[in-house]
Structure 1
Amino acid sequence: MIQEHYDWFIIIEPDSGEYFIDEDKKVALAKYRSQHPGKKCIIMRINETGTCGTI
């Protein structure tokens, strides 16, 4: 997945493990919220660290 979608956002619903990916964070969140309204999620980037950039 990392080679096809490098630095895209992945949003994971922790209870089901279902995930949504998109290169735009707002689009990925909209996909997630349409299936899991009001639920908490985990948002990461698809890359070596799970984040974008360094601290």
Structure 2
Amino acid sequence: MIFEPAHRSCRDEHRWRAARRRIRETLALRRAAAAAGQRTVEPPADSNPAA
């Protein structure tokens, strides 16, 4: 069994926050597109950094 540390490291916290931000932005784009009557919306080119 693998045990994780009780608290996230600073780096893990930043990665988690960045991932959540990307998800929120994607959902906001989809919601706006649905409200405008469009079917699909491509995310901005800079939203997918080379990891």
The TM-score bracket by the shorter chain reads 0.3 to 0.5
TM-score normalised per structure 2: 0.33
TM-score normalised per structure 1: 0.32
More strand, by proportion: 1
| Larger radius of gyration between Structure 1 and Structure 2 | 2
